[in-house]
Structure 1
Amino acid sequence: MKTEPITWEGKTRFFHKKRVKVITGIIVALAVLIVTGLVFAQWFISKSLPDLDGAVVRAPVSAEVEVIRDDRGVAQIKAGKMEDLFFTQGYVMAQDRLFQMDMTRRLAGGRLAEVVGEAALDSDKFFRTYGMHRSADGLIAEFNSETAAMVEAFASGVTAYINKAFENNEQPLEFRILDYIPEPWTAEDTAIAVKYMGYTLTGNFRQELENYQLVKMFGEEAVHLFPEYHINDDFPVIDGESGGSARKNQIDPALSAYLNSFQTNEPVFKAEGFNKITAFAPDEWNGSNNWAISGEYTDSGYPLIADDPHLGLAIPSVWYQTHLELEDDFHSIGVTVPGIPGVVLGHNGHVSWGVTSLSADYEDIFLEQVNPENPNEYLFDGEWEEAELIEEEIYIDGKDRPYIHRVELTRNGPVMNKVTEDGPYQAFSLRWSGMEPGEELNGILRVNRSTDANEFMNGLDGFVTPGLSWVFADTDGNIGFRGQALIPVRPQSDGRFPVPGWDPDYQWDGFIPAEDLPEIMNPDSGYIVTANNKPAGEDYGYNIGRSFYPYRAVRLTEIIEEQLASGSPFTLEDMGKMQSDFKNTQARDLLPLLVEAVETWDPSSHPAESLEGEELDPLSETELETLELLNDWDFIERTDSPEALVWQLWYSSLPQHLFDRYLDIELSNSLTIHRVITEAAQHENSLLFGFLEEDWHIPFPKAARETFYEAVEMAKDLQGNQPGSWAWGERHQLEFDHPLGSVWPLQLLFNLGSWETGGSGATPGAMGYDTETGITNHAAGWRFIGDLSSVNGFFDVMVPGQSGQWRSPHYDDQIDTWVEGGYYPMIYDKAERNDMNRVVFIPEEAGTE
């Protein structure tokens, strides 16, 4: 054998043949050990994967239950008895998602530190204070007998899998790494999963704290930062359909005086404390698209429907694909949330449905006055009231004794400022309507059983959280919309600012009555679009909220109207193209104004003394070339678009330039601030920039030009000096992170990426991203389109895959199809299933396997 040279410190050396033999032997032995170890590890880990074909599972079922998994690992479960169906759903779901289910109940219940240690203590303190685990009992109390049986059977199925997996040493890899055994699943865990899903779509908490910070610094004048404005009138789902008188979004005199009363020109928060207390607040950018088109305008003559909820991207997906058939009862296919039984979104052969966030305002911050002589008493209506004190024991991995966390409950809710030691100076409590008892799980059974649009809409009654815009269609040709939520009625405020918890006039006056919630059936237009736009127009009689984002709805409506005008009927292919549309109507509205400001800004025309003598740097060749590209852009955010890159860098820098440098808290990703900038750019007489120019001397054209310079420099740093070669997709990449993937080397094992993506949070093909890294972190993790003409006329795709188990072939097998805008058939009819994997659950007493 010829000896090859090895280079070492610049010199070529040849080893003696004997030494080479020894080293070669060691290398071969190590290679054999490594290969053997990898093979053993793969075999060991693969033991946790479910048997996919031919297996017989003895279980506490009353009769045979058939489980057929398709080529994506999606299980169709067919049973003759409801308890058997949901027992098997729980068992199968746990096979695929047990670690995710356990993490969700621990996170929402404030019990993460038990398994991951002190790093999770702040999280546990926040969620123990927030109290989803306390509200679970109220949800359980609303269960009817069938729902109770469903949830108990589901929990028994999850627990049966836990027992089997750990008794046979077949547990998922994550439990081996963290070295713990999960507890049995309970009805309370499912209730907490429902509440947590509602919590993730409740995004007002952080906004109110930001607004309070601004008001604390500027008093009543801060109201000018939030003027009365309507971007495309927020593009209401229902306009002029509801009747009633509009409530003007004005600050009443009493609230105005109140806001002015606590101006101190000092921050309310230490910056670190603000970041800590809002780190666990829901992301206000969570959203979705859905729409339905009447069969009058489709090629099949039946309604078409589409849904693509936009939530955080992670491993595994927030959604779980499921297919349930209960003989002589219902047959549904779609997705649910891990930990929740039934089919939450999808179709049942009669009705199809999807959701977006209603984006209403469900929570309020109540400022509290503390008794200086008794810190456990809070003022209300001139009297000191004692708060309820709860001592939460938080067990921490590696600690002998639990951490005792004191939670105080006022009439307005839990006191939140004590979550962290360096939290806000001002005491405040938080009230969320999602803590109220609701019928969400009763409703899941009702909608799965519905046979037409009216039954479906009635099935939504009693849903409290999350607040959702439901769009639905049935085989009779109906299409409809219902905004379902528990929305507070506020007599003295509009929900934008914290209010005095001691004043009875600011208490909620109940909730918008169920019969007054916005809804519509078969509109004259022949279509319905909801995409986090305003649910109802200005004639609606209640204040729903102000966190609406209409740009995706604007674009989807444009596409529909253009095709209606052309006379071409809609097809499922059209629906799929709409879900991947990357045209940005926000950029179309704002970018020309920014470009004009750059090209025409003259500091000598501005009266501010601070600008006297200021001269503009001439635009460089790169900047001029960039402006030329932007002037010719079609506003489609393709992966190879240089214009999209510049636009996103430019727009994302404006909030920091205008606000963050003057405040102790970061507002750069605030939905409120983005809306204010939009309004200001569109209206020269905006109160915002009148206020800013007077107090901070930042005329908008100056800000536009300075941030344009910054955007071009960032683009050059990222991708070189040739604007024509810049590409949005190089910056805007798709990655999937596992909960354990932040630890090296586990990220090499669990995490996935990367893929170039187009679009942004403002495009129908929604791809929200981290402005610091460009990484896509919010998108449509599940896309769904359907034609009501056939039970097999539905298609979906979900990323990254059905299984949360590393080494499963279904861990990441849907990503490429999703990135390419493709879909898979949702096989509903048994006659369409070929060569699929079959497992049978049989009664334990049915003899030997």
Structure 2
Amino acid sequence: VALGASWAYWQLRASLPTLDGVVALAELDEEVSVTRDEVGMVTISANSRSAVARAMGFVHAQERFFQMDLMRRQAAGELSALFGGKALEADKRVRIHQLRARARAIVAGLPSDESEILLAYVAGVNEGLHRLGSRPFEYWVLRAEPVDWTAEDTILTAYSMYLVLQPSTAEKKLTRLNVKERVPESLYAFLRGKGSEWDAPLWGEPLLPPAIPEASSLGNWSAKLELPLKMRERPEPPLPGSNSWAVSGALSDNGAAILQNDMHLKLRVPNIWFRIQIRYGEDEQSRSRYAHQVTGVSLPGVPLVVAGSNGKVAWGYTNSYGDFSDVIVLEQERPGSYLTAHGEVPLETVYETIDVKGAPAQRVAIEKTIWGPVARSGADGRKFVLKWLAHDVTQAINLGILGLERTETVADAIGVAHNARLPSQNILLVDSGGNLAWTIIGAIPKRVGCDGDEPVSFADGSCSWQGYLSAEEYPLLMNPPDGRLWTANNRVASGEMLRRIGNGGYDLGARAKQIRDALFARDSFAEGDFLAIALDDRGLLLERWKAHLEQLLADESAAQDDLAKALLVQLRSEKDLRARRDSVAYRVVRTYRYLLRDALFMAWLAAAYDAQPDLKIGSLSNQWEGVLWEVIQKKPAHLLPAPFASWREFEREVLKTSLHSLGIDSRERLAQATWGARNRAAIQHPLSPFIPLLGKFLDAPIEAIEGDVNMPRVAGPSFGASERMVVSPGHEERAILHMPGGQSGHPLSPYYLAGHEA
């Protein structure tokens, strides 16, 4: 046993990245410097950008090759070759997109300057992998061999972000169709509300919820609930997204604009991002420094600084939740063919083979149309096709954000953004001259004849995509008069610009509103002020629900219950509702609101749930807060679920079930039901869920954390700010960069979990 342990430790040590000394790389004909700071942030200095790319590939592979491998395999649908049958269903869902073939086509179409950078990076990755003294430890655990990197794998890594940031299935729009076909039209319109008083667009007014439908419009429909109520685990995860805001130089303490960006993603060990600074090119005025210095975060697998600052311009992203796909109802007069505007066309069937570790390979049939693959076949025989921006190899991905490294003004950067191709995002841009702008980076389809909100037929050509928006047609807001910009996955635009972007399920505006109001609360900012906004854990959205619950508990009949009395005292004692570790009120109010939502939607959409048991309310609309509050305030009798005789009786039952779900049956248990007891960081290495014993050595410490989803400080057990960056171009020495999960992927590295505490 001791001999085996010694051998395993030796192999683990041998796979550590090279941190010191001189390394000769093949085909590298210039000197490159690679240094690290106390948290492992890498600085790469070279004469040429291609040399930087080669060194970046070397460093990424040595520090993160296994994580890079997972990202390319996730996008290609090749995880089963590594993990066996447990990954097969995930691979099947992805394979219909045939992203490896698309990635290969994208590589072939890259312009020569981007291709040069990519090929240098690939060479660096493979040299970095081969220079390790032993294969990365994860492959020893999995009894597998790492496979060399290719140019198409870099594109697949970028595609993996499409899978995170945009719907890759037809589920969301089919949910809407399911509900629309099973409830009265007026109820569907009400539940599909497009906004609420929490809206905080950059321009335009809030989109208030539709009026509560009249009883006469509902026909024989009625709301019914089965008792006892049950607290369900919420089926929908937090929205992948981000916060970003900026102020102009007129509002900063240094004359340059200031940018904040935190990208909210699933958290893991190591972090998805990699801290990096790159320096290259000779400055003509001073040979003692580099012409270009870019600091920020990179995505291992890709030779780019994804978000950061070049000293003159800084940039960051939030998910736009624009609508970049359509679900097409296929019209068929006979099996094996379908109708188009140009007549009947045969369905094409192609096959993909999925290698499965320890089992025979699986052959998967994919039906294809001129618009995209068949993503779902309904029980009634209807076929639904997914037309998705990611499928268009001319528009999905390029390395265009390389251009941001050399831009000198926001105006320059806007032109780069409109020609760069990646999952279409909000991008905020600021410069050292004090300018700021918001626009969309990535392609935007030009949809004609329909809005794309629900499944639609393309058969007669009345609804179609007619290319993509030109740069001149992109939505853009530069240097607004008040000098402030903000985005938080909410509805950003209004009117025609909103129509162009589309509604892909944007988030409730509560988080954006809280940020916006904080920006207008003062007229001068420094980086620390931006960090304070980012760490704001006030539960402003839930304050009115807290007051509502206090009113319910103060009712005469409720006051006879000792536990209700204790809860009322607790709620009143917490004057400021915050998502703090020790807050009981926050947890109780939050639980009550979600159960109230779940119970009402289960009652209202009973027929839809029967047809789709895993129905996600957020797929119908993320604006349900406005609907819920309107109903609870007005208490329409025709929307009250049977068998309850009154809204008060229903709400008491919801509260009773909420407390039961939290294990609160006494004053003592009430005091223990804190937000921190639930909101505990569980940031894991990818292997830990499969081999729990490894988690003890690989995972970040489990600890109570502050924050939640509907506030600037977004934080959940395994979801939150994957990086938190505050920077003013030209003043990088004052910048703030937090990154949970650490820098290195090797548990013996001094940089494993480095910086996680911040």
Same fold (TM over 0.5): yes
Alignment match, 2:388: 432
Alignment match, 1:323: 277
Deviation at 1:221, TM superposition (A): 4.8
Alignment match, 1:158: 125
Kept in 2: contact 1:387–1:408 (CA 8 A): yes
| C-alpha distance after superposition, 1:145-187 (max 9, x if no partner) | 110000111111111123333xx4x111111122222222112
Distance (whole Å) between structure 1 residues aligned to residue 666 and residue 146 of structure 2 = 47
789-798 or 406-415, which deviates more = 789-798
Instruction: State yes or no: 1:305 paired with 2:229.
Output: no
Deviation at 1:45, TM superposition (A): 0.3
Deviation at 1:247, TM superposition (A): 12
| C-alpha distance after superposition, 1:394-447 (max 9, x if no partner) | 1111235x32111111123111126xxx98964211111232223753422111
Kept in 2: contact 1:732–1:758 (CA 8 A): yes
Alignment match, 1:51: 18
**Corresponding residue SS for 1:630:** helix
Alignment of 1:210-229 (within 5 A): 210-218=175-183, 220-221=185-186, 223-229=188-194
Alignment match, 1:782: 723
Q: Which amino acid aligns with 2:618?
A: S
Distance (whole Å) between structure 2 residues aligned to residue 431 and residue 221 of structure 1 = 29
Kept in 2: contact 1:136–1:191 (CA 8 A): yes
Distance (whole Å) between structure 1 residues aligned to residue 645 and residue 272 of structure 2 = 42
Sequence identity (%): 25
Alignment match, 2:317: 355
Indicate how the Cα distance of structure 1 residues 226 and 125 shifts in structure 2: closer, same or farther if over 3 A, else same.
same
2:52 alignment partner, one of 64, 81, 85: 85
2:247 alignment partner, one of 267, 278, 293: 293
Deviation at 1:142, TM superposition (A): 4.3
Indicate how the Cα distance of structure 1 residues 690 and 459 shifts in structure 2: closer, same or farther if over 3 A, else same.
farther
Indicate how the Cα distance of structure 1 residues 514 and 698 shifts in structure 2: closer, same or farther if over 3 A, else same.
farther
Alignment match, 1:23: none
Alignment match, 2:582: 640
Kept in 2: contact 1:297–1:526 (CA 8 A): yes
Q: Which amino acid aligns with 2:151?
A: A
Alignment match, 2:140: 176
| C-alpha distance after superposition, 1:732-754 (max 9, x if no partner) | 10011222111232333333330
Distance (whole Å) between structure 1 residues aligned to residue 65 and residue 129 of structure 2 = 8
Q: Which amino acid aligns with 1:188?
A: E
Alignment match, 1:610: none
| C-alpha distance after superposition, 1:640-684 (max 9, x if no partner) | 111111122212223331234631323466264552243231366
Kept in 2: contact 1:623–1:712 (CA 8 A): no
Instruction: State yes or no: 1:731 paired with 2:686.
Output: no
User: Structure 1: which 4+ aligned runs deviate by more than 6 Å?
Assistant: 246-250, 688-691, 694-699
Kept in 1: contact 2:328–2:385 (CA 8 A): yes
**Corresponding residue SS for 1:318:** coil
Kept in 2: contact 1:302–1:787 (CA 8 A): yes
**Corresponding residue SS for 1:135:** helix
2:298 alignment partner, one of 330, 336, 339: 336
| C-alpha distance after superposition, 1:699-720 (max 9, x if no partner) | 7655433222222223334997
Instruction: State yes or no: 1:462 paired with 2:427.
Output: no
Instruction: State yes or no: 1:675 paired with 2:623.
Output: yes
CA-based RMSD of the aligned residues comes to: 3.3
Deviation at 1:39, TM superposition (A): 5.0
Deviation at 1:539, TM superposition (A): 5.9
Instruction: State yes or no: 1:624 paired with 2:565.
Output: yes
Alignment match, 1:477: 434
Deviation at 1:814, TM superposition (A): 1.9
Alignment of 1:87-166 (within 5 A): 87-165=54-132
Indicate how the Cα distance of structure 1 residues 347 and 300 shifts in structure 2: closer, same or farther if over 3 A, else same.
same
Indicate how the Cα distance of structure 1 residues 510 and 438 shifts in structure 2: closer, same or farther if over 3 A, else same.
closer
Distance (whole Å) between structure 2 residues aligned to residue 121 and residue 225 of structure 1 = 39
Kept in 1: contact 2:247–2:483 (CA 8 A): yes
**Corresponding residue SS for 1:335:** strand
Kept in 2: contact 1:590–1:678 (CA 8 A): no
Alignment match, 2:702: 754
Q: Which amino acid aligns with 1:84?
A: A
2:511 alignment partner, one of 528, 531, 552: 552
1:387 alignment partner, one of 347, 355, 364: 347
Q: Which amino acid aligns with 1:432?
A: W
Distance (whole Å) between structure 2 residues aligned to residue 386 and residue 349 of structure 1 = 55
Distance (whole Å) between structure 2 residues aligned to residue 619 and residue 145 of structure 1 = 77
Kept in 2: contact 1:142–1:438 (CA 8 A): no
Q: Which amino acid aligns with 1:505?
A: S
Distance (whole Å) between structure 1 residues aligned to residue 87 and residue 347 of structure 2 = 27
Indicate how the Cα distance of structure 1 residues 733 and 541 shifts in structure 2: closer, same or farther if over 3 A, else same.
closer
2:199 alignment partner, one of 229, 234, 238: 234
Alignment of 1:519-558 (within 5 A): 519-538=476-495, 540=497, 542-543=499-500, 544-545=502-503, 546-558=505-517
Alignment match, 1:257: none
Kept in 1: contact 2:190–2:627 (CA 8 A): no
Deviation at 1:346, TM superposition (A): 0.5
Distance (whole Å) between structure 2 residues aligned to residue 305 and residue 98 of structure 1 = 31
Deviation at 1:459, TM superposition (A): 0.9
| C-alpha distance after superposition, 1:55-102 (max 9, x if no partner) | 434432011111111111221111112222111100100111100111
**Corresponding residue SS for 2:270:** coil
> Bigger radius of gyration, 1 or 2?
1
Aligned residues: 720
381-390 or 429-438, which deviates more = 381-390
Alignment match, 2:363: 404
